[in-house]
Each structure stands twice: as structure tokens, then as C-alpha cells.
């Protein structure tokens, strides 16, 4: 399977990823937290936007730090990267969740951890299904040509 994806396809992939996650998380979290769907929809969209913005900012700073300190992106650096990325997202997201939903920081933290635990398998399955569907589509297109 070719990993060559255009920027348009990558944008489509990312938007599809976030939209499906919002459609799944909003009713699920509304039910778990016993909060209105609108409140949870706003929270899930805010978290998605925050994660996207944090991804751009954090990765830019991290890449500059690697270059500045002449560090190689090995397994340990990737572990540090993941921990710092998620830690920063939790540090910003938890107070936002607590404020918007009018819950304690602890409840917001547990919600954030639950969302993280959802996203681990979701990310795997989403990208796997996308790649399978994409491969079939590309194969069909090449057979028709």
C-alpha cells in the first residue's frame, strides 16, 4: 500500500477523523457525564480544536528544540515527545473542561483520561479502516484505467 497521500487527502483524513470522533464522543460523554448534548458537543469540538492547535505549536517547538540541542529522534525521544504532548494537552484541557461543564478538576481529569483511552483504539481502527478502503478504491481505479 502506497503511503503517498496528497495534502488534500491528508486534510480529508484529518477532518473525517475529528468529525467521526465528535459524532461518537458527544452522545457517549453526554450520557456518561449526565450533561446536555450541546454542552458535550461544544466540549468535544473545543478539545478537538485545542488538540489540533496544540499539535501544531508543540511539534514546532519540539522540532526546534531537537535541532537546537542536536538530538536524534530515537525511541526515548519519542516517549518524551508523547508524554510532553499529552501532558500539555491535559494541563490546558482539564481546566477548560472543568470550567465549561462546571465540574471539579478531578472530574474533568477523569473525563480527559477517558477520552484519551477512547482515542488510542479509535486512532488505530480509524486509520486501519481508512487504509483498507483507500487501497480497495485505488486498486479499483487502477483496474478501470
Mean pLDDT of all residues in 135-139 = 87
What's the pLDDT band for 38 if we cut at 50, 70, 90?
very high
- Give burial (CB, 10 Å; 0-12/13-18/19+) of 67: exposed
pLDDT at 76 over 70: yes
pLDDT digits (tens, 9 = 90+) for 106-125: 999 999 898 888 888 998 89
- Give yes or no for a contact between 33 and 97, defined as CB atoms under 8 angstroms apart: no
d(CA 106, CA 94) in angstroms, rounded, equals: 9
pLDDT at 1 over 50: no
User: What is the structure's pLDDT at 99?
Assistant: 93
Who wins on pLDDT, 52 or 110?
110
Percent of the chain with pLDDT strictly greater than 90:
40
The C-alpha cell 473525517 sits at: 16
User: What is the structure's pLDDT at 3?
Assistant: 56
Model-wide pTM > 0.85: no
Amino acid at each position: 500500500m502506497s503511503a503517498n497521500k496528497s495534502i488534500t487527502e491528508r486534510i480529508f483524513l484529518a477532518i473525517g477523523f475529528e468529525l467521526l470522533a465528535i459524532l461518537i464522543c458527544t452522545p457517549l460523554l453526554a450520557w456518561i457525564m449526565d450533561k446536555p448534548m450541546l454542552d458535550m458537543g461544544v466540549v468535544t469540538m473545543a478539545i478537538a480544536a485545542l488538540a489540533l492547535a496544540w499539535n501544531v505549536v508543540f511539534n514546532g517547538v519540539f522540532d526546534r528544540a531537537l535541532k537546537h540541542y542536536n538530538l536524534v529522534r530515537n525511541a526515548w525521544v519519542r516517549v518524551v515527545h508523547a508524554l510532553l504532548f499529552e501532558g500539555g494537552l491535559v494541563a490546558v484541557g482539564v481546566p477548560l473542561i472543568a470550567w465549561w461543564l462546571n465540574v471539579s478538576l478531578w472530574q474533568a481529569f477523569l473525563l480527559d483520561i477517558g477520552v484519551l483511552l477512547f482515542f488510542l483504539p479509535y486512532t488505530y481502527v480509524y486509520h486501519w479502516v481508512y487504509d483498507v478502503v483507500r487501497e480497495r478504491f485505488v486498486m479499483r481505479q487502477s483496474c478501470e484505467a
